[in-house]
Structure 1
Amino acid sequence: METSALYPYPSRRYVTYAARGMCATSNHLAAQAGVDMLKKGGNAFDAAIAAAACLVVLEPQTNGAGSDAFAIFTQNGGKLQGMNSTGVMGRGFDLQKMRDKGYKEMPHYGFEPVTVPGAPAAWAAINEKYGRLPLTEVLAPAISYAREGQALCTITWSSINTMASRMRENTDCGPQFDEWFRIFMPGGEAPRPGQLFRNPDLADTLEAIAKTQAKDYYQGEIADRIVAASHKFGGFLEKEDLMEHEVQWVQPLSVPYHGYEVWELPPNGQGIIALMALNILNGFEPSPLDDPLGVHRQIEATKLAFIDGLRYIADPRYMEVSPEEMLSPEYAAARRKLIGQTAIEPAPGNPKNPGTVYLCAADNEGNMISYIQSNYAGFGSGVVVPGTGIALQNRGKGFSLDPESPNAAAPGKRPYHTIIPGFLTKDGKPVGPFGVMGGFMQPQAHVQVMTKLIDCGLNPQVCIDAPRWLWTAGKEVHVETEFSTYLADSLAQRGHKIVFDTNRGGFGKGQMILRTPFGTLIGGTEPRCEGACAAW
């Protein structure tokens, strides 16, 4: 892979270079906060946590102090490590009672889909184990933005209004959403773009997290408030569920791809889908940029991987097949044989025969981190814990209510997770972190970004700029309006049902930082939002 300076697409940004450090996020203030930590003597881990906490304040529509988190990282250029800080379903959950109430799937809003939030524990664990600055200093920018306020951006204003409309249309919308409306719709309407927006309750919560290394969140007064709200509004969380939450340090998974190694975290996240697709594609020769046959194969490989992922991914303790079986070369070869010249209707295979904010940061000491945290969809559950500013995720939405599914909801169990950080190495040496957030788009975007980077030699910014496709179901593929009409027509002739989609938010938001052969850094950020790649 030699990243090219050429810009084959109508580029919206130039690639960013830096010598001392870099932080790429979906918000410029969060990225700046990350680089500020580097300037204060901190490292990439301090930068990532500072940015993550700021995003809780600055992008409440995508994440909050009630989010979950994953990370892949390298310390001083060494072996990759992984972190899973996703929470379990509360001990009060009863699947049969949910089915008896008439639910065929987990509800989207309310306290029922809320699982134990993991992001605050992730901040504290990474800071304590790998950071250099105290957590009080790392979270100070986020606390300041929450207490003193910051100008509201257009995307957040639009998201607040969209969420308000959806909750008002929800027949079950009741008192549990009052706190959300109080904070985000003061006086009955959202603050206007550019208007100062404050969340002093969240500032107090972040301050408590910083001073106690998140212990207050899981064992103290904040935990008591979360549980009290759960009891009041029909949730399933108990104090013991919060007290028992632990960050898991895990070994990332990888597959070879055309001379590199692409890394994702093991289930309960869906990163293995991207690896399965790339494992299938690794058996084909690299394709030229936007070659119709090459893109057709990418779509087909992704479809086959996705349909397997939806069938098998769950809390690892409940999975019917192992990640190793899903990633075996033999299984990849069997699935590859299904890819021909035209689109197919995908069906799950059997691996046992033989075989949504994202950010990244890097410094000049060899530390690099790929980090992601999320509420799941929009503002998540729509529930804000009274008096705390904590917007809770709805990660339980990822569960199935089918008792026969390995992903069936159960107390003490983690759900299927969509958020996935990625990492790239060559010959075992770290090249850099990457990720594209956005629900079920994420593994599909990982495949698209990696194939353009590795096979076509494009620089990180161009890889992120490139128009994307999104497989939805069957043979239907949505493409961005900037997508090549020639390529779209060619795919349609191969049997794909192509839909030009004007909803740019559905195609994900990505960031990438790579270390160059010169030891410097090169980064790209997302043009589909207020992305920024701050450098030092």
Structure 2
Amino acid sequence: MISFDLTDYPYPSSRRVVLGQRGAVATSQPLATLAGMEMLLAGGNAVDAAVAMAIALTVVEPTSNGIGGDAFALVWDGQLHGLNGSGRSPKALTLEQCANLQQIPDRSWLSVTVPGAVSAWQTLWQRWGQLPFEQLFAPAIRYAEAGYPVSPETAIAWKRSESRYLPLQGAEFQPFKSVFFPGDRAPSVGEIWRSPAHAATLQAIAQSGGESFYRGELAAQIVDFAAATGGYLTLADLAHHQADWVEPISTHYRGVTIWEIPPNGQGIAALMALNILEGIDLGGYPRESVDSYHWQIEAMKLAFADAYRYVADPHHMELSHDDLLSQRYAVDRRQLIQPTALSLAQPGLPNGGTVYLTAADPDLMVSFIQSNYEGFGSGILVPETGIALHNRATGFSVEAGHPNQIAPGKRPFHTIIPGFLTQDGQPLGTFGVMGAPMQPQGHVQMVVNLVDYGMNPQAALDAPRWRFLEQNRILLERSVAQSIADGLTERQHLVRRGGFFGRGQMILRQHGVLMAASEPRADGLAIAW
């Protein structure tokens, strides 16, 4: 079993790993983390905590997720289970309606698929929950009714969204703007924001066990607003939705098994990149070296080229995930890496709005991710409900014949991916990094930091990051040494400083001790007891 040095913090800004035995929780927003701890202290388990945190995040970090979003989960209870909570496109949405478009517009009814997050909460609780379902909603309802002070990173994201959402015209966008931009502005840091409509909707979901959202009064409100403002969702679309149990996919990397949700998610891209890196002795290079960065970037670039060509709703894929994860194929791809940067096709998907959270107790470990995709999502909010609808249909391609081509009743290519680690059949723990195409790149960097460089969870999250954009273009965090930036430039990478590098959480188990860590790039908090 690999071991982590809990005293090694190589980066000046490092926090310390939080340690406990009975339970641990971590999210990108402290109030949401406290909601999870509230469930543990009430006698709940890790699933109760995870669902409560997911619900709370729809209120306290609305810039990244909401009631009208999607969710995925990996849960360990002695074996690993995968849950795909993503929704499908409306049956009335067809390629013909998207004719002459280069891509699906991200703020429009065309971008809205069936929201799946509520079904994920419902399904996880039904299988493992110990506390009453309504109890899991109590913190979120409290935050929505009484209000809460907007945290710094959320306020920055909210302010940044003004330029995208305030100019929107049309009846479908007005309820959204009145809820999230009262007075035509974003709330500032520390300003109290409240939404009674969120509280009422969460109460209705709690009391109905989630049924109101898909087959009851809330479903009718969603559909009525769609019909009145040019939307495509119907009662049948909502009623037919369900979260699906799926078999997680994995690869082995230097004795550790990395697990991801299978397509339609992009987690397979992280596994393909790790398969390529398996044949490289990364540990033979210093962590902060041009060689280590170059190999990782080029492996990720090759994995993205395949993911964006082949990954789609699994019922429409030309290749299976077994084909893409073949070790023989990884050898072929590895041989394409040269001393200088390759130039490949553009990934071409937008930055995302996502939250990752994790919870653990002695029996269960939960890796959970939830998103409205591009920021707040579509810019469409169902009046008097607080339900901001996501824009996942922008993950579809409009290219004729592409496996991810938009079609009725189909799941789009999905960016949100929870991660999990095992070794010799035993759980090491959960991890995730938010941020659309940054997510598989973040997963690769977390695994490399843990396995190749022996970092503990907090140091792994704190370490400087890179991000591949397109062709030869990459981003480096400002904390990356200038000598590495210069060396990558010499290798024909087009280097730019700054940008968005994701936000993650992690809980690992070592010798019966839970090690919880939260992302320094967010307002997050990890708690263990």
Give me the TM-score of the superposition, normalised by structure 1: 0.95
2:526 match: secondary structure: strand
Q: 1:28 deviation in Å?
A: 0.7
Distance 1:204 1:390 in 2: 11
Q: 1:347 deviation in Å?
A: 5.8
Q: 1:182 deviation in Å?
A: 1.1
Q: 1:299 deviation in Å?
A: 0.6
Q: 1:82 deviation in Å?
A: 0.2
In structure 1, what is the equivalent of residue 273 of structure 2? 277
Alignment of 1:315-330 (within 5 A): 315-330=313-328
Distance 1:175 1:157 in 2: 26
In structure 2, what is the equivalent of residue 23 of structure 1? 25
In structure 1, what is the equivalent of residue 260 of structure 2? 264
Query: Which 10-residue stretch deviates more, 46-55 or 479-488?
Result: 479-488
In structure 2, what is the equivalent of residue 418 of structure 1? 415
Q: 1:169 deviation in Å?
A: 4.1
Q: Is the 8 A contact 2:159 2:187 kept in 1?
A: no
Quick check: 1:384 aligned with 2:377?
A: no
Distance 2:167 2:137 in 1: 36
Q: 1:190 deviation in Å?
A: 2.9
Distance 2:202 2:310 in 1: 37
1:507 match: secondary structure: coil
Alignment of 1:208-287 (within 5 A): 208-287=204-283
Q: Is the 8 A contact 2:377 2:391 kept in 1?
A: yes
Name the CA shift for 1:166/1:326 in 2 (closer, same or farther; >3 Å): same
Query: Which 10-residue stretch deviates more, 18-27 or 289-298?
Result: 289-298
Give CA deviations for 1:169-204 in whole Å, capped at 9, x if unaligned: 45xx22211111111222333333222211111111
In structure 2, what is the equivalent of residue 511 of structure 1? 505
Alignment of 1:434-449 (within 5 A): 434-449=431-446
Count of matched residue positions in the alignment of Structure 1 and Structure 2: 518
Q: Is the 8 A contact 2:516 2:527 kept in 1?
A: no
In structure 2, what is the equivalent of residue 49 of structure 1? 51
Distance 1:385 1:233 in 2: 11
In structure 1, what is the equivalent of residue 170 of structure 2? 174
Give CA deviations for 1:127-168 in whole Å, capped at 9, x if unaligned: 111111111011111111111111122333333333232134
Q: Is the 8 A contact 2:36 2:49 kept in 1?
A: yes
Q: Is the 8 A contact 1:127 1:134 kept in 2?
A: no
Distance 1:69 1:134 in 2: 21
In structure 2, what is the equivalent of residue 130 of structure 1? 128
Match of 1:361 among 359, 362, 365: 359
Match of 2:470 among 470, 473, 477: 473
Distance 1:97 1:449 in 2: 41
Distance 1:475 1:103 in 2: 27
Distance 2:188 2:250 in 1: 45
Aligned-pair identity in percent equals 47
Q: Is the 8 A contact 1:371 1:421 kept in 2?
A: yes
Q: 1:66 deviation in Å?
A: 0.3
Alignment of 1:302-313 (within 5 A): 302-313=300-311
Match of 2:513 among 499, 509, 520: 520
In structure 1, what is the equivalent of residue 350 of structure 2? none
Which one-letter code corresponds to 1:439 in the other structure? Answer: A
Match of 2:186 among 181, 186, 190: 190
Alignment of 1:135-146 (within 5 A): 135-146=133-144
Q: Is the 8 A contact 2:345 2:471 kept in 1?
A: no
In structure 1, what is the equivalent of residue 349 of structure 2? none
In structure 1, what is the equivalent of residue 87 of structure 2? 87
Distance 2:491 2:467 in 1: 16
Which one-letter code corresponds to 1:165 in the other structure? Answer: S
In structure 1, what is the equivalent of residue 331 of structure 2? 333
Give CA deviations for 1:14-54 in whole Å, capped at 9, x if unaligned: 11111111111000111111011111111000000010000
Distance 1:404 1:192 in 2: 46
Q: 1:516 deviation in Å?
A: 0.9
Match of 2:461 among 457, 460, 464: 464
Match of 2:152 among 154, 158, 182: 154
Q: Is the 8 A contact 1:304 1:347 kept in 2?
A: no
